[in-house]
Chains A and B, each alone.
Chain A
Amino acid sequence: MESPQFSCKLGVLSRPDASVIFCEGETVVMAGIYGPIEVKMQKMLIDKASVECNYRPKRGLPGVEDKLYESLIRNICDTALVTSLYPRSAILIALQEMHNSGQLISCAINAACLVCLESGIDMKFMFGAVTCFLTNQEELRLMPPISDSAVKASFVFVLDNVKERILASHTEGSFSMEQYEEAQDLSRKQIKNVFAFFKKTLNSGKEM
């Protein structure tokens, strides 16, 4: 089955502790991380770091949908990072949409993981996301159809690299239970490529 190509560039920004531009197929997201940094008094947690995520759409102010992505990514990062190592501090992940051609959520999650890995912050495991599309012809595929109207449903699965447990799932549209499970199996196959790409990127970018 045809699957999206990955590409990325590390260290694109100078201000953040780590930054990355991540492309999944045609979708592009830029991510930066600051942390651990000083935290505002009202957000301070005494036993762990508070993880914050800032998601910006391509233009305009973030809307309700963007806030939803933001909280999804925040929750995933909160689970994956060892926040108990940095009490009374904040970890800030900033994400900027550059181009959307369907896999925006999974691309943003993958960019967030890569930027965490790159910054050297402690993580319990790596996480990656895969988007599957269900077309009007009841066909499951990893590549987005050319027109939005051809998509009956889309699934996003976020998995970890240790036991491949599902950390989060996000679905849109209508589908049957079997199709959901089928999409899940497909994501489990594709997630191996995502992690292989992460490893390759970090290993090659490591040459100092």
Chain B
Amino acid sequence: MANIGEYVYPGDVVKNVKSIKGITIIGPGLRQNEENPNTLCISQAGKLCFREPNTYWIEGKRHRYIPKKGDLVLGVVAKKAGDSLKVDIGSAEFAALPMLAFEGATKKQKPDVQVGDVIYARLLSAHREMEPELICVDSYFKAGRLGVLPNDGFLINISLNLTQRLLDIKDPLLPTLGKKFPYEIVLGVNGRMWLNAKQRKDILTLLRCIEAAEAD
């Protein structure tokens, strides 16, 4: 019924699913079909994609971010609640970020984070029954590039598809812009982008370029 590369709709069924030792990896927009094994149900409108040997997913237009474990996201601190921060990452619920999850933080020496600060963090756990949990250190307890971002940057919301496109190393947009203006950029897969350049004027020009890329 549904073939690879075609535009598919909810209710369609993928037949003859390829698997290795009974394992098939399915991405967003697909569900296991309980009535008939070896087939998949489609639950989103989009393009059906397949990668050898056994991975299937749907490339659709999603507008709302659904947290996934390990994602690097940009969030804004919404609340300070004792030893933990509540961070808005654009999902259904605020994510929790413990004060101790910063590099070098101890019970006595807490990081200086204010409500409204922009934070670049990794999702430590994202289970749909629980609130998502963020962390600002890697497995060696080093911050790396994670943590609170400087106050002089600019944060905007962009579509999830555009974020994925910009994160692709082969995408020419960001390197091309870099030749003209030196700038710093942080992309969160939750559809947020933080920008900073030498002048305000440059930031605005860059934002306009990104907006143009969004429309296209």
Interface size on B, residues (CB 8 A): 26
Asked, given contacts A37-B92, A38-B93, A208-B161, whether A17 binds B43 with beta carbons under 8 Å apart, the answer is no
Stretch of B56-64, B180-188, B192-200 on the interface side = B56-64
Stretch at the interface among A21-29, A66-74, A129-137, A196-204: A196-204
Minimal Cβ-Cβ distance residue in A for B13: A162
Interface centre among B43, B64, B91 (most CB of A within 10 A): B64
Q: Is B75 an interface residue (CB 8 A)?
A: no
A89 in contact with B11 (CB, 8 Å): no
**CB within 8 Å of B: which of A34-56?**
35-39, 46
Chain A interface mostly: loop
- Residues of B contacting A36 in the complex (Cβ-Cβ under 8 angstroms): 64, 66, 91-92
Q: Is the interface of B mostly helix, strand, loop or mixed?
A: loop
Is there an interface contact between B46 and A120, defined as CB atoms closer than 8 Å? yes
B7 at the interface (CB under 8 A from A): yes
Within 8 A of A (CB), among B49-93: 60-64, 66, 91-93
Shortest B47–chain A CB gap in Å is 8
A146-184 residues with Cβ-Cβ distance < 8 A to B are 160-162
**Using Cβ atoms and an 8 Å threshold, which residues of chain A touch B91?**
36
Question: Are B64 and A119 in contact, with the CB atoms below 8 A?
Answer: yes
Beyond A88-B129, A198-B9, 14 extra complex contacts between A and B, CB < 8 Å: A36-B91, A82-B43, A86-B92, A88-B92, A88-B93, A88-B128, A119-B64, A122-B10, A122-B29, A123-B11, A123-B43, A124-B41, A161-B10, A208-B161
* Closest 10 A/B residue pairs (Cβ): A125-B11, A120-B62, A17-B63, A89-B92, A123-B10, A122-B43, A36-B92, A162-B11, A117-B45, A161-B11
